[in-house]
Amino acid sequence: MDILAQMGLRELVPYTMRLTADSLCDLNRRLDEQQPKPQLSYIGLIAMAILSSREKKMILSEVYQWITDNYPYFRSRGPGWRNSIRHNLSLNDCFIKAGRSANGKGHYWAIHPANIEDFQKGDFRRRRAQRKVRRHMGLSVNEDECSDDSPIASPVPQRKSFSVESILQRDVTPRWLVPMIPPVVSTGFPFQLFTPHY
């Protein structure tokens, strides 16, 4: 029995306006499909989910739930985005495991302490987050890489002027060719001339 009949309103609502549970689900699905994709990276979505929790840690299913609750776009999508969330949690240093879950299935995920301040400000840049974790751990950080810490592009390094000396100082063997050069065998030939048949 439908809800209109239960409420005694069936005869008051025209047939064309009556929606069944199936048609409501279909309508919701179509509305979810029309939602725009969030402009955040998966790192940003995960960080926002974790920061929204009281304990500042979540299990994987809670991260999924937070994302679908806050971004309807993902409700009607296949499992691909969930794989991306798992992948980002596992491979980005800005997320750390924070103990086993209460039910013993899986574990909690938290934000690395070196990244909390930036993430709270909405700065979810992956390379910057990785550098901060490396510094926090006392590891070396290559500062010469293209930095994304500022919106201004780093200056292009100056080239030396063209000269015979600069050409002679260069390693002229292209790196992609080096593995292709066969080793010299004791006979002095760079390759075996024949294959013996035994």
Q: Choose among 28, 19, 25: nearest CA to 72.
A: 28
pLDDT in tens, 139-169: 666 665 544 444 433 344 444 555 666 656 6
Cα–Cα dist 44/47, whole Å = 5
pLDDT computed for residue 151 by the predictor: 41
Per-residue pLDDT band for 123 (boundaries 50, 70, 90) equals: confident
- Maximum CA extent, the chain: 101
Per-residue pLDDT band for 101 (boundaries 50, 70, 90) equals: confident
Q: Show Cβ contacts of residue 37 under 8 Å, excluding neighbours closer than 6 positions.
A: 73
State the residue for tokens 């776009």.
Answer: 73
pLDDT in tens, 41-97: 888 899 999 999 999 999 999 999 999 999 888 888 888 899 999 999 998 888 889
Cα–Cα dist 98/176, whole Å = 43
Task: Say if residue 121's pLDDT is above 80.
Answer: yes
Burial 9-22, CB ≥16 within 10 A → b, else e: eeeeeeeeeeeeee
Against a cut of 0.85, is the pTM above it?
A: no
Q: Choose among 27, 23, 30: nearest CA to 2.
A: 23
Q: How many CB atoms lie within 10 A of CB 36?
A: 8
Q: Choose among 41, 65, 62: nearest CA to 119.
A: 41
pLDDT in tens, 2-53: 665 555 555 655 555 555 655 655 555 565 566 667 778 888 899 999 999 9
Name the DSSP letter for residue 57. E
Q: Contact 124/112 with Cβ under 8 angstroms? A: no
Kindly state the average pLDDT of the residues 178-183: 50
CATH number given to 8-136: 1.10.10.10
pLDDT computed for residue 30 by the predictor: 61
Q: Contact 10/4 with Cβ under 8 angstroms? A: yes
